[in-house]
Amino acid sequence: MTASDVQHAVTGYWTARAPKFDGAASHVAQSAIWQNVLEAAFATERPADVVDLGTGTGACALVAAALGHRVRAYDGAEGMLAVARAAAQAQGLAVEFIAETLQDAAIAPGSADIVTLRNVLWTLEQPMAALRKAHAILHPGGRVVVSDGLWSVASQYRSTYPADIAARLPLHDGLTEDKARQMLDEAGFGPAISWQHLFPASPYPGDVPMFVLSAVRA
Distance CA 10, CA 207 (A): 25
Confirm whether pTM is higher than 0.85: yes
- Of 88, 76, 72, nearest to 22 (Cα)? 88
- Of 15, 66, 40, 71, nearest to 147 (Cα)? 40
Distance CA 42, CA 97 (A): 20
Burial class of residue 218 in the structure, from the number of CB atoms within 10 Å of its CB (0-12 exposed, 13-18 middle, 19+ buried): exposed
Q: What is the pLDDT along the chain (218 residues), one digit of tens a residue?
A: 787 777 767 777 766 765 665 545 556 657 889 999 999 999 999 999 999 999 999 999 999 999 999 999 999 999 889 999 999 999 999 999 999 999 999 999 999 999 999 999 999 999 999 999 999 999 999 999 999 999 999 887 777 888 888 899 999 999 999 999 999 999 999 999 999 999 998 888 889 999 999 999 98
- Give pLDDT, residue 28: 60
